[in-house]
């Protein structure tokens, strides 16, 4: 958090370094715009190298209709859907803009009926091109018979096509089994000459072999299997066998075998993510002493010993110490032992051990006794969750009650989910460790995100400098209900204070669905700030079913609907992905004050995409007011992280409020960006309004 005693100097640096440029009150069309292109974005290999069959016409080449370019111009270049009105609406200190330029492609010698290579160059419309800017080129190769190439996702309908695609690969390959794929059994093999990364989306289908391994990976690249079943029913074969130097990742997949689930002779890593390995003999067998196993929220179970196998009845068997790591909630079982070496896990993980296969009569985990445990469960622990002054425990999780709680609050420890069902929560009954009173408070919650599921309409109110919701780590809000959150007031003179409706530290806030209304309380004490939503060292994402309203309260210094703070380490990001955000700053009336709809400090990116909608409004302020303000400079005036604004096929309306001090340091912007870029693409619509710079009171 910024040092408040330094904040006066920060505001002075901020206002002194901004040089506003007045925007013309007119619409700008990129197809007819004038400007100088200084560079083009690099095209992918798939775009620059195309192979087509004989007989392909020019119209069927499907060459790009636009190129992304960096344009140097006098005014911000946007597309024809942008309306800019009044005042210093958009301000950028460096006048460079990323624009999608319409182009046509030219090669008079192209003949789709003749084999050969044809190089196409673009024809640029409406712009000049700097002499040292390299024009992109596209090479089209016409062949009599096309080879399978790793371009996009290749769908296959049967096992034969799947094997052919892998055998014919000339680069990394992304394959999906089609909806009509038939579960014909076979032994899928990646040759030892194949050094490419191969991803196979099973699409709910099965790779099966009744007489051997389902998959044999002899190559040296990464094989990723996701979204289905892999089965092997032959003894002594395994469902998946790795014999080269490659690695394996299994995601959202069930691996089933009569003998060994996954067997590896490789020095690479076997990573099991959100998956199940269910076998009769050995779940995972790592023969190479340098090989490793990673379990992420997955279960591995062996049910018996087959043919007196020396490794039979073991969940995970490795050939060296410190080769097994576990994250997320994972269970390993084996009737002989769960695993032969102790796993590596973070110190805040909870380990449940038992000498019984189903985990009955658990006992404290002792590393030296690993070969005695038939059941091992590793799961993250959540330290200190408080609701309305009441700590959540195993005893009260099914009905959390207290003087500050009215309505139904329950907690699911397995999913780390608080379920709010038409509840009212007040945070004025318990003083937390930091001396403030919060509505919901979760500390050290880094391994599993805390989830809030909204059922019905709920309200949360904090008090005594408290935050409505305060979480250290990730928070996900979901459910079809609504939640109104208000931060506590901080009003005492001579003190520095903060009020947050929702505050996230060192984590991400994601609104998956539901209606969220977050308000900062009154922060009229000396050098005090009020924020609707504040995210520090993390990201804020609003998904398509999320609707968020964030409002800063009245303050003596800074008020902002949404506040992002990178602490100078990395860019923080606000992403509105199909959802909506209405962010409004409150009145800020201190000597060095600012009011913002959205304020990103020391580097922050804003991306609005997939028809997302954002309305950002700065409130009245003595000094600075801006609908959107991206401040890329730190306290010392140095740029650590550039902040960029991208409006991609979406809409943004940004309005600056009125300033009440009649001096040169006062300014009102619709959009203010220091050192970064504004990118408006795919018919994005931006309306930026700056009120008069000076208002007489």
Q: Are 171 and 193 in contact (CB under 8 A)?
A: no
The two beta strands, 457-461 and 572-577, are: unpaired
User: Hey, is 77 helix, strand or coil?
Assistant: coil
Q: Decide if 480 is inside a domain.
A: no
User: Hey, is 216 helix, strand or coil?
Assistant: strand
Two structure tokens written together for 326: 């576990």
Per-residue pLDDT, 404: 84
**Residue the block writes with tokens 């700053």:** 585
Cα–Cα distance between 27 and 507 in angstroms, integer?
40
Per-residue pLDDT, 68: 87
Q: Decide if 498 is inside a domain.
A: no
Cα–Cα distance between 443 and 461 in angstroms, integer?
19
Q: Decide if 319 is inside a domain.
A: yes
Q: Decide if 43 is inside a domain.
A: no
Q: Are 165 and 141 in contact (CB under 8 A)?
A: no
Per-residue pLDDT, 611: 96
Contacts of 241 (CB under 8 A, 6+ apart): 213, 215, 216, 217, 262, 263, 264
Cα–Cα distance between 626 and 103 in angstroms, integer?
36
Report DSSP letters for 263-313, one per residue: EE-SSSEEEEES-EEEESSEEEEE-STT-EEEEES-EEEE----TT-TTTT
Q: Decide if 105 is inside a domain.
A: no
- The neighbouring-strand residues paired with 441 are 386, 470
Residues of the chain with pLDDT under 50: 1-33, 74-94, 145-151, 430-431, 445-446, 569, 635-636, 692-697
Per-residue pLDDT, 301: 95
Where are the extended beta strands (E) located within 487-528?
A: 498-505, 509-519
Number of domains the chain contains: 1
Q: Decide if 238 is inside a domain.
A: yes
Per-residue pLDDT, 487: 93
Condensed to tens digits (0 to 9), the pLDDT of residues 22-69 reads 232 223 333 444 678 888 888 877 788 888 777 788 888 888 888 888
Two structure tokens written together for 409: 């609050």
Q: Decide if 177 is inside a domain.
A: yes
End-to-end CA distance of the chain: 34
Please count the other Cβ atoms lying within 10 Å of the Cβ belonging to residue 179.
10
**Residue the block writes with tokens 């909806």:** 179
Cα–Cα distance between 257 and 237 in angstroms, integer?
8
Cα–Cα distance between 460 and 405 in angstroms, integer?
9
Peptide bond into 236 cis (omega under 30): yes
Question: Alpha-carbon dihedral of residues 662, 666, 669, 674, nearest 10 degrees?
Answer: 160
- For residue 225, the enclosing domain spans 154-347+349-380
| pTM value > 0.85 | no
Q: Decide if 143 is inside a domain.
A: no
Per-residue pLDDT, 521: 93
Burial degree of 397 (CB within 10 A; 0-12, 13-18, 19+): middle
- Give which of 527, 462, 533 is closest to 497, Cα–Cα: 527
């Amino acid at each position: 958090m910024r040092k408040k005693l330094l904040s006066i100097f920060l505001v002075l640096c901020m206002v002194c370094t901004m040089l506003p440029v007045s925007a013309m009150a007119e619409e700008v069309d990129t197809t007819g715009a004038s400007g100088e292109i200084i560079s083009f974005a690099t095209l992918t290999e798939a775009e620059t190298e195309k192979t087509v069959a004989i007989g392909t016409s020019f119209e069927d080449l499907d060459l790009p209709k636009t190129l992304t370019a960096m344009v140097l111009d006098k005014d911000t270049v946007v597309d024809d859907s942008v309306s800019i009105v009044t005042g210093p609406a958009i301000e950028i200190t460096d006048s460079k803009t990323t624009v999608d330029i319409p182009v046509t492609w030219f090669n008079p010698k192209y003949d789709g009926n003749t084999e050969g290579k044809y190089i196409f160059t673009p024809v640029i419309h409406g712009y000049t091109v700097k002499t040292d800017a390299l024009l992109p080129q596209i090479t089209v190769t016409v062949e009599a018979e096309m080879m399978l190439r790793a371009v996009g996702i290749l769908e296959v309908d049967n096992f034969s096509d799947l094997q052919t695609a892998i055998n014919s690969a000339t680069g990394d390959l992304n394959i999906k089994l089609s909806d009509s794929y038939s579960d014909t059994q076979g032994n899928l093999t990646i040759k030892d000459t194949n050094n490419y990364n191969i991803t196979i989306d099973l699409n709910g289908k099965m790779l099966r072999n009744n007489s051997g391994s389902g998959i044999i990976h002899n190559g040296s690249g990464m094989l990723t299997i996701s979204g289905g079943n892999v089965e092997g029913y032959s003894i002594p074969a395994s469902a998946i066998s790795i014999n080269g130097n490659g690695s394996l990742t299994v995601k959202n997949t069930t691996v089933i075998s009569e003998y060994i689930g996954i067997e590896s002779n490789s020095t690479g890593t076997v990573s099991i993510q959100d998956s199940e390995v269910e076998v009769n003999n050995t779940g995972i067998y790592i023969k190479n002493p340098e090989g490793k196993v990673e379990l992420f929220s997955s279960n591995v179970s062996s049910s018996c010993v087959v043919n007196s196998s020396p490794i039979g009845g073991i969940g995970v068997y490795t050939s060296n110490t410190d080769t097994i790591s576990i994250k997320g909630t994972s269970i390993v079982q084996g009737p002989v032992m769960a695993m032969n070496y102790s796993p590596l896990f973070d110190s805040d993980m909870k380990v449940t051990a038992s000498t019984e296969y189903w985990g009955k009569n658990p006992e404290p985990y002792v590393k030296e006794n690993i070969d005695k445990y038939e059941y091992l469960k590793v799961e993250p622990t959540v330290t200190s969750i408080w609701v309305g002054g009441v700590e959540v425990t195993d005893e009260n999780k099914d009905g959390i009650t207290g003087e500050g709680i009215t309505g139904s609050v329950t907690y699911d420890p397995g999913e780390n989910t608080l379920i709010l069902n038409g509840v009212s929560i007040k945070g004025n009954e318990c003083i937390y460790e930091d001396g403030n009173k919060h509505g919901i408070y979760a500390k050290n919650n880094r391994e599993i995100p805390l989830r809030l599921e909204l059922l019905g309409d709920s309200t949360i109110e904090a008090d005594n400098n408290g935050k409505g919701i305060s979480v250290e780590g990730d928070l996900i809000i979901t459910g079809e209900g609504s939640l109104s959150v208000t931060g506590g007031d901080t009003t005492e003179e001579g003190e520095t204070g903060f009020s947050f409706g929702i505050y996230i530290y060192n984590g991400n806030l994601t609104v998956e669905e539901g209606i969220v209304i977050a308000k900062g309380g009154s922060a009229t004490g000396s050098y005090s700030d009020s924020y609707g939503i504040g995210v520090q060292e993390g990201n804020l994402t609003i998904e398509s079913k999320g609707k968020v309203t964030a409002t800063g309260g009245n303050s003596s210094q800074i008020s902002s609907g949404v506040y992002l703070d990178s602490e100078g380490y990395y860019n923080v990001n606000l992403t509105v992905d199909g959802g909506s955000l209405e962010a409004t700053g409150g009145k800020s009336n201190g000597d060095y004050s600012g009011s913002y709809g959205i304020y990103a400090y020391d580097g922050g990116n804003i991306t609005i995409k997939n028809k997302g909608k954002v309305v950002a409004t700065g409130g009245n302020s003595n000094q600075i007011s801006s609908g959107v303000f991206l401040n890329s400079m730190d306290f010392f005036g140095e740029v650590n992280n550039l902040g960029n604004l991208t409006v991609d096929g979406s809409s943004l309306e940004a309005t600056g409020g009125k300033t009440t001090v009649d001096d040169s340091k006062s300014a009102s912007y619709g959009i203010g960006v220091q050192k970064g870029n504004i990118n408006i693409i795919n018919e994005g619509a931006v309306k930026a309004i700056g009120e008069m710079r000076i208002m007489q009171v």
